[in-house]
A and B are shown apart, each in its own frame.
Chain A
Amino acid sequence: MKKNLILMALLFLAILSCEKDDICIEDTTPNLVLRFYDNENQTDVKQITDLTVWVINYDSIYVNQSLDSISLPLDLNQNVTTYILANNLVNDTITCSYDRNDIFVSRSCGYKTTFDNMQIESYTTNWIKNININNTLIDNDTTAHITIFH
C-alpha cells in the first residue's frame, strides 16, 4: 500500500513536470502583410525587383530585395505608422492609422496587440498606382491585409 502511494505521487510529479507553459509558443502581435499586384492586370502578382522598406525615423526592414509580399511591424506604441517603400530607388510613403487592442494570450506570452480599423491616411504615387485594404482587422499575419498595385 505504502509503496503504491509513493509510486503514485512520483507519477503525478512526473506528469506535472512535463508542463510547458513557461515557453511562449502561441501567436503574438501580428505584422501587417502587404502584397504587390500588377496595376494593368489586377489579378496578377507582380514582384518588385529591388525593394527597400523602412519606417520613418527607424532602421530598414528590407534592403534591396526581390519580393512579391512583405510583412511589416506596426508601431504598437502609437496609432499611426509611416512606411517608406523604395522601388529601384524611387520612394513612396504610406501612412497607416489604426486602433490598438491588447488581447490576453497566455501566462508565458502575456498580451498581444491586435489592430483594428486599419486605414490608409495618405500615400504618394511615384511608383505605387493604387492601394486596396483587404482586411481592416489585423489579428494574424497569414493573409495579406493590404494590396498594392504598381
Chain B
Amino acid sequence: MIQDRSQPRMTRRRILASAAAVPAVGALATPAIAQGTLKGTKLTVLAGQWYVPETNTMLDQLAAELGRDTGMDIKIERFAGDELMTKTAAVIGSGRGADLAVGVEFDTYVYAAKLNDVTDLADEIGRTYGGWLDAAKATSVVGGRWKSLPIGQAPAAWNWRTDMFRAAGVDKFPDTFAGLLDAAKKLHAKGTPIGMTLGHASGDGRSTNYPVLWAFGGKEFEADGKTVAINSPGTLAAVEWYKEIYQYFIPGTTAWLDPDNNQAFLAGKVSATVNVNTIYLASRAAAATDPARKNIVDNMEHGQWPSGPAGRFACYNINVWLPFAASPNKAGQREFLKAWYSRAFLPKWTKTGQSYFIPQLAGFDAEDVWPSDPKLKIFKDLNKLNRLPGYAGPPSPAAAEAVNKYILVDMFAKACTGQLTPRDAVAWAEKEYQQIVRRRTRT
C-alpha cells in the first residue's frame, strides 16, 4: 500500500472546515448531527477491493477519522469479488448485518424497496459539484426518488499497443467499426491479434459487448423497460460484424474471464483489448524494475470506442452507496455519506484513483481530479459516454438478470463460434429476454 505522506492527514474537523469554506456546499458542510449524538452507535459498511489500493486505504482512513470525531463505531467489512454481492443480498434478505454497502449499477433497482430515500443528500451533492450526469440519475433514481448515491464509474477504453499497430500499418486507433475490422485483419496477419472478451466475465463481458450492440443501433428493451427489442436489424448487423472480426481474434476469448484480457495484453499476446486503466497503472507501477512492463508503458495508449452507424457508446461498471432501510443507524449512515461527498474527501479520492472510478458529476470537469499523465487524459472525455444495460429502458431487475445470465455475451459468442447463425443467435437471445420479462412482470 502506498500512502501519500505529503498530503495533510484527513480529519473530520478538516473535512468540515474545508466544506464550510465553500458556500455552495450547503448542508454538506453542516454537521446535521450534533457532535456526540452518534457516540456509541455502530455503523457497518460493506465494501469490496477497488483495484487502486490507495482508494481502499482512503476509505479506511475516512471511517477511522469519522469514528474518532463522532464517537461512532465504524467497521469496514471487505469482501472479494462476488462475495460482496452475496453478502449484500443476505443483508437485504435478513434486514441485518450492515448499514451501508458498495453496490453496482443495478442494485438500486433490484433493492429499491429496501433502501432509504436519500434524495435530499443527492440534491445537495448535485448542487455542490455542478449536477449529476445522466448515467448517475439512471442508476440511482427509482420512481423519482434517489435510493442510492453514485460513487463513480470506471471508464473502459481500448487498450492498444502503438508499436504493434504501427508494425501492421495502422497508425492510430480506428474511429469506425469497419476500420477496427480492417485493423484486426492486419494485426492478425502480423501475429499480433486483438481480443474481446466473449466469456462469462462479470465486468469485461459487459463493457466489451454492449457498446457493439448500441453502435449498430441495437437495443435490449423499448423505453418502457418491458418490451423486448433485441431482435432488430441493428442487433443483427452487430452480430454479423462480431462474427466477422472474431476470426481475427486470439483464440480462446469465449473462455475469457475478467483477468484473462489483462494477462494476454501484459504478456504481449494481444495488441488491443477493452479494459479500464488498471493494465496501464499496474504496468507503470512496475516499469522501474521490470523492462517488459516499461516496454508496455512506452508502447500503449488508450483509445475510445469506434463510432458505429448509430453513434459511439460505452458501458462502464458503476459503484453506488446503498443505504439499507433496515439500518438502525440512519443518522450515522447520512453522516458517513456526507463525509464521503465532502469537498475535502471526494475530489482527493477521485484524484488518487487516477481516473479508475470517476464520480458522475458534471462539475468534476473543472475539478483538480484528472491525472497529469498524458496517457490517461482520454478518461476525462470517456466519462461522458456511459450508457446502462437495459437501454432504452432503465437498468431494471430484468436488465440486471440479462447481464447476470450473460445473454448478450452468449448471443455474440454463439454466432461467432458458429454454434448458431447470426439470425438464430438473435432469436435465441430474444426468447431468453422474453422469458426474463415474463417472469419479472407476472405479478
Do A and B associate with each other?
no
A residues with a Cβ closer than 8 A to B are: none
